[in-house]
Structure 1
């Protein structure tokens, strides 16, 4: 993870650069003054041997530091003041400044210190030595005394402190006073020891009489040094234990990531390590976390960075060694050997980290088990889909009003002939089929839909956020289409077939009623050989009134109770009537005016279908004959049941009726339901080809709600596509509905077909359909279904003084450019105009 510095950090960095730059400028000035003084005073070249000794002594004092570890902290002590002050006593100041700068630069280059740090160190040393040399020159003439040396050392120390601590304060983001007071007592004592040593050495150099003290002073210095070291060690140990206790408290977390981050970063601070590495590989988890005091630098799979025998390591295990989490590694850029106290502290820290890891891992496992139990309670163990309980809870949430906007529907899916798979290939193959079906349904589901397995080979999909009921059928068809591809089981290719029942959420009855309705629709689809069926109250076998209609059909046909109304189909651009659709009605003496939805299934099962279809066709052709005699030569469209097409006598009956009424075959349009199954298409294809060759035109009704359009169009050479009114009703507000209509128009254009929109209710809908390329439509905007005589009167009256027109044109004459008429290849039929 890369941290982006804040604006405050940027400001601090600028201040730090400015301060270092100021020190460098002052050092350059001091060096220049020393050079000028040397030139102006004509200083002679000192003894080269003495120069070499001072240079070598300064290099040695800066390179080979005395490291003292108090607790786990490394404190470096240099003795560069000794060669500096000895050189100032024996040599002119400018030479000592130059020698010090050269020796320190040599050491920084030798140890490959960062350039900006090296420049600052050299500049600071030049200023400190210049200050000491100036003081010694002013108060140490003609012969340097002990007092002069002390004052020069104090000047050296003061300048070093004033330059060093402000820079450290800015670099560490702490206050300068706090940085100066940090370990002030220890620095004072250490400098006193150095001062005594410097004075002693200079006295030895200047006076051989002082050689008597040669044995006493080093002993005194060593005692002072050991006393100070012991004092610092005790204080650092106490501070270290307090820090360890604070870190242990911070490790008390149930989040494993937090535990590892704290352990690695705080471990680096606690042991003054350059990096800390935690390796969890031995616990079965391929994970390595590496961090320094600033934060985590790596978190991922191994291997470790510090994987060598010299690395400082500790096993992450409890005190009783009953649990081992991994390995803790302290990374140092140099060789470091921990003291006995540090090793004990490292072992204690590793034990605390191990305990925290175990607690966090146990909590994570408990959370995983709880989540797994909750998942298992709501999902099917074989397929991973939601189970019946989860489906009911989601549906109950809808009925309680806790869902998003839009309609909700239930799609109930049952696989066809699944028992044959189990019986033939075994239950293992059957389970594989069920898992594949579950995967395909899950992939085809829209966002927010819930796919569930209810048991056996029965699945359900809760369809949510539907803008219109027609979209439920559209989504259901998409999901069942996803099941069509074959799959290989036990070396055999198996094709999955299924039937689906769709039910919109009822106003009352809850999820149980929704499930019952979807079940009824599903079995209706199976009985009719359809892929999907939508629940309708008239098709509900629980409706007693529907059962009574079956015994009355013979009387209805004999007494001509079936009548036909006509709804005009209008050119959307001009408003002129271009054809009419015949709509059958049953004028029942007791139940009143019944629509095909209420009686058609009963007719299909009663054996009266042939007589019913012939009566509707006869009335439709009679009406078209009357209109033609009145100078309105309009094609008439008649709906055809799939069961009628299965009758081999049907084509001959249609052609006989056309001949009896003297109606050209191309003035009759047979509307086919898109809910025809693929198996039905193969059977009815012969009948449809016979009718089409005779000139009868074919239309695909309710387009977009049945099986795959390309599957239908590849079997039936239709002339027209009729868009379902569910899409038309939301064309202004639903981008999904508009996309379906647009794709239908594009498909029709590529196949040279006419597109008719059903259910046009308003002028905005008319305009929207026209802009999408739809050429014709029908609906209450133009006229409701009416008798043939009334339709003739309506045509004669017209609209705006235009007979045959039911609406004003959308554009003035000549404002719309239309394509020329063209013929469909191989059909011999003339296609209607399409808007450019």
Structure 2
């Protein structure tokens, strides 16, 4: 069972043992005076021994053996000499004064100084009493006297040891048995070595006083050798610790503890009270100010150096070293506020750029100060620290880049998936984890017309708006391309859909590119856990399916459902089938009549593609048109419809019936400069008058890239082809924008026509479009005419042409002929013209 950790007590308890030791020293001195006939000796010799005692107290030799450091004091040597040459009371007094001077020189605290002086006095008094009581006139040449002196010195050492162990146990808690044995053995070993040295000195001096010269020479040699050894030892130790520091910093960089390792190792290497690392704010990195302190296990945000030194190092780019005999000694007064006696501040460099500072402050030791060697050592450490900090930031940057989008700085797909997994793990029954997937509209048109730089600006602007509008607890990321995801906790799927609609409405707006403004718009797909997927990948996939459905259905927000997934999977399989269908002519072209509303005369047909899949049956046009657009087959599909329409126009003209045909164009077709030449070639191939061909374009396709679209439209106009703006009113362009377009016709979107009989707002929109189109000299076609009431309103406001189920659904060529023949049998009007009143289902 582990022993409970000792609880430190007040150092003032040491006074108890100090008083006891003082009383012991006094009583032993009194006994010595009574027992020894001559207690005092010559004061000149006593003064010499005072100097020896003092020198021995303030000189501590540190010897390292196999990484173990031994502190050796020579205090036993002058004690043995004093016991041999001086009376006991003189030895006690000299030892007392020397100990007091040594403690004052080393600036030891009063409690510790008094204890040390009392312990030395008590031990010395006991040793003197033993020697003089046994042999008042010891003769060093006799072995018995050697043993007596050795025993006295050993007894003194044991007395001091007992006092030290007692005060440690009293103040800091009980010492372990291992620590106790190691302390006693090492101290007695050093004491016995000093006894042997002291006896040798006594023998030499007893033989001849001239032996003092030999001892002095030996001492000089010993001092020089020790200084060389100490210098070598310091250098070796510094190199070893520096190597250990670099290794520890290298390993700390792998697990993110580089700051802790660097500062703690630097503080120990420089034997400083503080080691501080300061890195100013840079880019996405905030300011870092961390310090390791001797009495604190972690890191602090309080430096040991004043800001003035740091600012000077950053300004000059040079090391600032403050201390006695250091270059910046004049700055010592600035350290008073920090109550430290020295500091060294070294700039950290990355190439020619200063990225921060590494600092140490307060050299440990009462009389120790930082020196030039310490400055050079810290500069070496700073060089390694600069590399470590840069590597740490590089690793951090690589980790950041691996999980974030480079353009927007938002989390990428990997980070979003990880965050979703984490959110799912801690999900509560009261909420759901929702994924809102935003698909930015018209990015391709911006890239093709203005360049990818403009597209990047559009994405960055959308990311900024999305980040500002998303809830604080939501995670906003870029999945890829023009897709952005928002992951958030909501109360349910309905709340998630409402949040998506609110964000979409707020994120919309215009983005200026020079003189051109682009409308920022998007659609949103929503999927929630656990209803729509059990893991992050499935949730994101289903949100993508919902987003695609929103684009196809022209809706703003779409919640995922199982029917969408089956339809999406079906589209994937349709890609290859559509290519074969185009190659083998499986697609059909249907024709929907366009009727003049004033006289009900057939004025043309719109060509619409239809596909009856051999396995799946009829495929919705929006499905295979979307597949064609995403697989690059839309151009072939458009050409198939165009050829079939012109072929039928040629046949009708040969039969004496001149019916204009209309063909829809995609926005991508308008940016193809070769398209007008292909149209001219097909017109020439079937010998059809260009005036019988109307090409319908969406206003969004023109607004997305007006310059390139206008060039294509003008080329088509020059061929004599009629141009029509389809689905007008659903985009963001104004009617005045029509003045720039070389078009002859406007088709009002069916959503306004269908609602005009019941919604005054839709009626007002249709009326405005008709009036403005007349002002510009354009004919107007109304789509979605399905009721007599709607037909009457269109006639009233002066609309020119209508098409819809009231007249006929789209028909194949053979049924169109039958429908036309049936209408020809209708009763003619007073003007002799046919009225088309019967719809064909």
What TM-score, normalized to structure 1? 0.45
TM-score (norm. length: structure 2): 0.44
